[in-house]
Amino acid sequence: MQNMVILGATGSIGASTLSVVTQNPDKYAVYALVANASVDKMLGLCETHQPVFAHMVDQQAALKLKRALPSSCKTIVTSTPEELTALVTHSDVDTVMAAIVGAAGLVPTFAAVKAGKRVLLANKEALVMSGELFMQTAKASGATILPVDSEHNAIFQCMPQAVQNNLGFCDMAAEGISHILLTGSGGPFLTTDLSILPSVTPDQACKHPNWSMGRKISVDSASMMNKGLEYIEARWLFNTMPEQLKVVIHPQSVIHSMVQYKDGSVLAQMGNPDMRTPIAHCMSYPQRILAGVEPLDFFKVGELSFLEPDFDRFPCLKLAIDACQQGQEATTVLNAANEIAVDAFLQGIIKFTDIAVVNEQCLVSFNPSALKTIEDIIALDSEARRLALSKIKALV
Ligand code: NAD
Ligand code: MG
């Protein structure tokens, strides 16, 4: 029996995780559910899953939840940052699903890594911000990191055991691997006329052709910043050199990524686009469990196609690849700027095409400083957010 904490329980990944838990009640128990402010969703989850703890980051939400819980539900409600750290690091906890969206996920995810937990990593932003430190800390604490992001999970599944057992420090070339092919659908604007992009709405941007996800990652998919963040995520997970990592557009999302070996073999992981597959894989690794996912029917799949990414259409992807080569300071700045820009776009303050403008302006104006601790990273993140807000002010 694995005792789980689910960070981001009320979100899209949280829901898929709880669906896998429900299908395997003999293997997983919910120790704690963590979310920001959605009281009604959390109330329903507490009634269904009866966790020992429910943590709401928003204090008013925590109070409301406490009042709303029926007396039959013995769940304890917590709300302070110290209580959150205590939850994820508690000795009763085996596994932490890290599925808070954005930089907000860094601190609790990092605490779980430091405590040597089995960490199922969906929160790619944590790795984009702290990659080097994150993997070093996992090595020192003995934490197991398993990639939930569907591409990284696919790559992981196509890797030899020596790589799987040594994430962050593996030597792909020594294992006969020439490169990783990181696939992405290209999102809803893959063929949209470029002149229309400045006027697309948040709802259009969030309408992903294949995946159903939270709004932030949906906008990132439309700009392909998501693929850029995933490029950085792959760099840290698989310890890649720039020539070992290529992005390929594959609009059908049937192949979730590939690994090419020096003998010419290419291994691909395929399936229906349903996050319960990578989540179940991480939860049960190295075994397999039921995920509730429809089996892939090759007679219905039809044609699979592949394209090279166009950086004129997707400038955010290029910014992320360049930032990755610059280092952790640049990727932290880019991640923070992007979160602020996406939020401004979702609120109707800036245009879709301004997201790349704000990101680039922030990358150009930041002063690099060595990041040694998680506190340094958080300070740079805050500074970059302020910078992004000032760039947005100047734009509108
Ligand atoms: P979502 O918006 O559906 O859910 C976000 C969750 O984070 C919610 O539970 C929310 O309460 C919580 N949250 C937000 N701000 C918080 C804060 N300040 N403190 C604590 N909790 C907070 O997002 P999602 O689509 O489930 O994505 C979650 C993470 O997983 C993201 O990092 C995303 O990039 C990654 N991911 C998602 C998918 C997907 O298919 N949805 C796929 C791959 C990776
Ligand atoms: Mg992904």
The whole-number average pLDDT for the span 17-38 is 98
Q: What is the mean pLDDT of residues 46-66?
A: 98
Q: Which of 101, 293, 339, 381 to mutate to test the pocket of ligand 1 (most atoms within 8 A of CB)?
A: 101
Tell whether the torsion through CA atoms of 96, 98, 99 and 104 is positive or negative: positive
What is the Rg, in whole angstroms, of the alpha carbon atoms belonging to the chain?
Answer: 20
- Lowest mean pLDDT: which of 88-97, 333-342, 348-357, 364-373? 364-373
CA torsion sign for 375, 380, 382, 383 is positive
* Beta strand spans in 262-307 (E): 266-270
ipTM of the assembly? 0.99
Pick from 16, 57, 217 the residue to mutate for probing ligand 1's pocket: most ligand atoms within 8 Å of its CB: 217
Nearest partner of 152 among 285, 45, 51, 60, judged by Cα: 285
pLDDT in tens, 141-198: 999 999 999 999 999 999 999 999 999 999 999 999 999 999 999 999 999 999 999 9
Confidence of residue 209 (pLDDT cuts 50, 70, 90): confident
Per-residue pLDDT for 259 more than 90? yes
pLDDT at 368 over 90: no
Note the pLDDT tens digit of each residue in 281-297: 999 999 999 999 999 99
Distance 169 CA to ligand 2 centre (A): 22
> Given a cut of 80, is residue 254 above it in pLDDT?
yes
Which residue among 58, 213, 220, 275 has the greatest number of ligand 1 atoms within 8 angstroms of its CB, and so is best to mutate?
Answer: 213
Give pLDDT, residue 295. Answer: 96
Using alpha carbons only, give the angle 361, 366, 369 rounded to the nearest 5 degrees: 160
**100 pocket-lining for ligand 1 (C-beta < 6 Å):** yes
Going by pLDDT thresholds of 50, 70 and 90, the confidence category of residue 211 is confident
3-state helix, strand, coil in the chain (%, to 5): 50, 15, 35
Burial class (CB in 10 A: 0-12, 13-18, 19+), 47: middle
Mean pLDDT of the chain, nearest integer? 97
The ligand placed nearest to the CA atom of residue 218 is 1
- Looking at residue 342, its pLDDT comes to 98
Residue 211 exposure: Cα atoms within 13 Å on the Cβ side: 31
| Predicted confidence band of residue 372 (pLDDT cuts 50, 70, 90) | confident
Q: Write out pLDDT tens, residues 62-97.
A: 999 999 999 999 999 999 999 999 999 999 999 999
Atom of ligand 1 nearest to the CA of 10: 9
How much is the average pLDDT of 356-362?
98
CB-ligand 1 contact for 395 (6 Å cutoff): no
151 alpha carbon to ligand 2 midpoint, in Å?
Answer: 5
Predicted pLDDT at 366: 85
202: number of Cβ within 10 Å: 17
Ligand 1 in contact with 35 (CB < 6 A)? yes
Mean pLDDT of 340-358: 98
- Which pLDDT score, from 0 to 100, does residue 212 have? 84
Q: Does ligand 1 come within 6 angstroms of the Cβ of 88?
A: no
What residues are designated binding site?
Answer: 10-13, 123-125, 149-151, 185, 208, 214, 221, 226-227, 230
Rounded percentage of the chain residues whose pLDDT exceeds 90: 96
* pLDDT bracket for residue 33 (50, 70, 90): very high
Is 369 a residue whose pLDDT tops 90? no
CB of 184 closer than 8 Å to CB of 224: yes
* pLDDT number for residue 279: 98
Q: Are 119 and 147 in contact (CB under 8 A)?
A: no
* 276 alpha carbon, closest ligand: 1
**158, 220, 254, 269 from 306: Cα distances, Å:** 19, 20, 11, 15
Q: What is the pLDDT of residue 371?
A: 83
Which residue ranges form the domains of the chain, and what is each CATH number? Answer: 2-147 (3.40.50.720), 161-326 (no CATH)
